[in-house]
Structure 1
């Protein structure tokens, strides 16, 4: 791999609290790999695997793939082996990787900023129907995720999607992952600065750069004027703010991440003009590369470095060692009372309209996406957007086209006026395809929504429900009103069955006075998957019966008696 130079001055920058002994930080001279992941990355850059896929593996088939490429470097191009059918969740933690994996792949297509034109949407739809058994999910990272991909088909898939300006470069792996952006960038009435150009600059300059392709772990980014992305859960976030002297710019947050040890990003207290976003982003990611912990994989995310350093030390190192200048102090951004998902009919700044629709837990298909493209084109639009809440938006509609488009999308299962349950439910991939999962999620989410729509058809409040198949929180379980972490639990007769640990009252991106954070844990609060609809119904009815005027579900959870939460 390409050796990465560390600034000489960086060797003098010691963390405020001091890292634990032997954390494997490059900047402190610890260059020898301390775990198998660091070893395979040192042996060969993950970006180099594409050439082998095209020249060797696509011709020789699955059996020809080197195991380290298969379970390591292929992630640098968006490829994971998917779970073999028929392996129950109780065996997830006891089987070896080769025993869990199928000879097919999950493929993530980067959609930075969630922005797609119709040619791109049709290309994804065609890849899905031709190569992926018509599978497609809108993820909570604004990606499209496909399944049943054969290694033999990857050259043709890359040719198709790259031909319309999309890619899978660093969609997975220890790399800068897809960049989140406001789904309504450039059209929202409330937007002051459109951050799209900053996203494009970072993608063009740094995605696929060997200098940044060996990070300690994944690096997640969001850049948005509006607070409509989960910025507190990202490694780096730029959020719109108006400086009293310098005008519109962005507030910088660093060190967020969920998984098994969740932490929220911290404000560095600086104001960044839009033309400097890429430079500051580059400085932060290089800090992560050079100072990030590489000894233990479960401590390798940037959030652990931030926890040890604190925002003041992080800012100092950024300014003195990576930017060579001081950043401007800045005010905190204004935050909404609740997260913004853009579902429904909304006016754009130019007098046109956009429409947000809700597939159930992000599950669509290539066939549905192809129909969306046809419907959108027939209604005079050429742009769609994906959201970090597994939703889809259609932009640039004339007022007289809105109702017709809403009706046409409803006919293919995409609802612009969904129930609270359909609107608020997200789910990760789950045991259907994921090798880490313990329980089913997508089908469970669909059946839960259907059941709750029957039982609580007139429910008048917003409650978010996030289902995750394992503890890794890809569906952001800790920051949902009802977060469901998949696990095996005792059933009514004592046998082990699929179930969930329940986390209540979490939330992100809300103003002071609202409930933002990880909510409330009740010891031993679990439900079987079979009993999940009854549990959610019981909880929702108690909330309706005892809430005060204007009280959100999360606020009610924090004051409710423990017995009312069971």
Structure 2
């Protein structure tokens, strides 16, 4: 993707719908804002601001005007709207507690600083890129850095005056923030062991790179109904949470056509969770990019734009069904039909890749766990130094807030593990340190009700102490989220915690139990269950997790996972 400071025109109008594709939306009495059915008249303010000016054009205004004139020069539609297409959100103003989250407008909640999301498609970084991010963090973001569960790196405390300089530094090493947020094609999740794993089915790297170079920042795809999330893997561990993305291409071997991808569409969590569906279509590698673009355009042209709460692709798929979606995709957007193909085999192992793995070239990769993705500019700089000292120039981020070091000689593995552990990155973490993730939380996020990162980190420390002598047959995934939007995937965790106001001035978490994806110890993906009235205060979190863990160990059947037990257990056992 080549960054540009030129003005971006609005996309051409999509071609007319065929009679076969004309369908009514979920409410036939009024327009749902589907471009190819209802026309392109904007039906809410978000659609109005996108129609008035392509959000990609805001880059030039940031460089030429806002960075020079300062924060007060930024109009609201750019600040709270189009800035997202450049990877920028205003962060939460410090000192505003969770009781006011849903009561205040964006301006009242917003600080004069930004979260900046650095886009890392496929999670692939060189040590030069890692060191550049570290320098940007230390020079412009008060040393902050988090690894997200979308394989991005997020910085905080970024001032508008510094954004052009940050972009210059990032782009000099091949990084950017374009479309890291917004109603567009966000970062593409990719297998962290793409191209190196000894048991890889197919290497998705060429597909990810072609999409990134050709279509990220493309004005034809920059105005979607809502965000669009992608995942591509060729690894048998199913390591990109493919069931909860708008599109996923999952490596399979066709009995006649050889390696390629199985196509999934329509996944997403938040307040209306829905797992993606297989379309039953086999995508040959040479048609993967075409298919990805086709699904994006189906969403662009037929997605619901009237209500943002109903604007994700999952709602269109729920209305159409998989068969109709595939038919419209093939007849209107692809060069021809796709062959039928097989489903992915069950996952062969954990998808987080923590620990030591063999590469196909005889070298090793080492996966380490930061605590709930929280790192820092200083830590990233140290990682770059340590990695290079052991002969490597490549690292990868994972969809599980982890970091992999590639290309390590066997004799260097143990020294590398020791040096990374000294800075808080563990290749042999405790089960809870390995399997716990957390969103940004109230520390910086305007949507959050509760603190997450430190609460989760404290809980991990306490659980390690309390359960030090207890052997868990499987790690228990503990996912901590600051609000209902499920950035930390609470519905697909063994124990998912949704931050909320419990009553009065007390904050805590609603509990979801027994979720999981196919890449975990479950045979099939499934959403967690809620227990009536079960809520846990933040200071009671270690007590609750210890209690429910011990009950699982006491009541479980032979080889029964936590998720399976949680779905069959009596409610009293889950309290």
Q: TM-score, normalised by structure 1?
A: 0.97
Which string of whole-angstrom CA distances, capped at 9 and with x for unpartnered residues, describes residues 502-553 of structure 1? 0000001249973521022211111111111100110011111111221110
Does residue 528 (structure 1) correspond to residue 537 (structure 2)? The answer is yes
d(CA) in 1 for partners of 2:409, 2:522: 38
Which position in structure 1 is the counterpart of 2:147? 138
- Cα distance, 1:315 vs structure 2: 0.4
- Name the SS of the counterpart of 2:539 in structure 1: coil
Which position in structure 2 is the counterpart of 1:351? 362
Does residue 334 (structure 1) correspond to residue 354 (structure 2)? The answer is no
Deviates more, 1:449-458 or 1:367-376: 449-458
CA contact (8 A) 2:86 2:177 kept: yes
- Cα distance, 1:16 vs structure 2: 7.8
Does residue 465 (structure 1) correspond to residue 456 (structure 2)? The answer is no
Which position in structure 2 is the counterpart of 1:518? 527
Does residue 38 (structure 1) correspond to residue 51 (structure 2)? The answer is no
CA contact (8 A) 2:243 2:525 kept: no
Which position in structure 1 is the counterpart of 2:3? none
- Name the SS of the counterpart of 1:530 in structure 2: helix
Which position in structure 1 is the counterpart of 2:379? 368
Which string of whole-angstrom CA distances, capped at 9 and with x for unpartnered residues, describes residues 72-113 of structure 1? 000000000000000000100001111000000000000000
d(CA) in 1 for partners of 2:10, 2:422: 52
* Aligned counterparts, 1:22-171, within 5 A: 22-171=31-180
- Cα distance, 1:14 vs structure 2: 2.3
Does residue 186 (structure 1) correspond to residue 199 (structure 2)? The answer is no
- Name the SS of the counterpart of 1:269 in structure 2: strand
- Cα distance, 1:458 vs structure 2: 2.9
Which position in structure 1 is the counterpart of 2:424? 413
d(CA) in 1 for partners of 2:57, 2:191: 32
d(CA) in 1 for partners of 2:103, 2:486: 20
Does residue 505 (structure 1) correspond to residue 514 (structure 2)? The answer is yes
CA contact (8 A) 2:99 2:449 kept: yes
d(CA) in 2 for partners of 1:43, 1:513: 47
CA contact (8 A) 1:515 1:554 kept: no
d(CA) in 2 for partners of 1:69, 1:16: 33
Which position in structure 2 is the counterpart of 1:5? 13
Deviates more, 1:299-308 or 1:543-552: 543-552
* Aligned counterparts, 1:244-259, within 5 A: 244-259=255-270
- Cα distance, 1:347 vs structure 2: 1.1
Which position in structure 2 is the counterpart of 1:542? 551
Equivalent pairs, count: 562
Does residue 289 (structure 1) correspond to residue 300 (structure 2)? The answer is yes
User: Which of 187, 212, 217 is 2:221 aligned to?
Assistant: 212
Shift in alpha-carbon separation, 1:307–1:139, aligned structure 2, 3 A: same
d(CA) in 1 for partners of 2:166, 2:313: 33
- Cα distance, 1:497 vs structure 2: 1.1
Deviates more, 1:133-142 or 1:511-520: 511-520
Deviates more, 1:82-91 or 1:188-197: 188-197
User: Which of 456, 460, 474 is 2:487 aligned to?
Assistant: 474
CA contact (8 A) 1:82 1:101 kept: yes
CA contact (8 A) 2:114 2:159 kept: yes
d(CA) in 2 for partners of 1:280, 1:10: 19
Shift in alpha-carbon separation, 1:511–1:118, aligned structure 2, 3 A: closer
Deviates more, 1:541-550 or 1:514-523: 514-523
Which position in structure 1 is the counterpart of 2:500? 487
- Cα distance, 1:473 vs structure 2: 0.2
Shift in alpha-carbon separation, 1:511–1:409, aligned structure 2, 3 A: closer
Which string of whole-angstrom CA distances, capped at 9 and with x for unpartnered residues, describes residues 296-350 of structure 1? 0000000000000001000000011111411111011112166411001111111
Structure 2: gaps spanning 5 or more residues: 1-8
CA contact (8 A) 1:482 1:504 kept: yes
- Name the SS of the counterpart of 2:66 in structure 1: helix
- Cα distance, 1:499 vs structure 2: 0.2
CA contact (8 A) 1:112 1:181 kept: yes
- Name the SS of the counterpart of 1:329 in structure 2: coil
CA contact (8 A) 2:32 2:38 kept: no
CA contact (8 A) 1:335 1:511 kept: no
d(CA) in 2 for partners of 1:10, 1:473: 37
d(CA) in 1 for partners of 2:380, 2:452: 22
d(CA) in 1 for partners of 2:428, 2:173: 32
Which position in structure 2 is the counterpart of 1:261? 272
- Name the SS of the counterpart of 1:414 in structure 2: coil
- Cα distance, 1:457 vs structure 2: 1.3
d(CA) in 2 for partners of 1:28, 1:320: 17
CA contact (8 A) 1:25 1:291 kept: yes
Which position in structure 2 is the counterpart of 1:14? 22
User: Which of 450, 457, 464 is 1:439 aligned to?
Assistant: 450
d(CA) in 1 for partners of 2:213, 2:495: 38
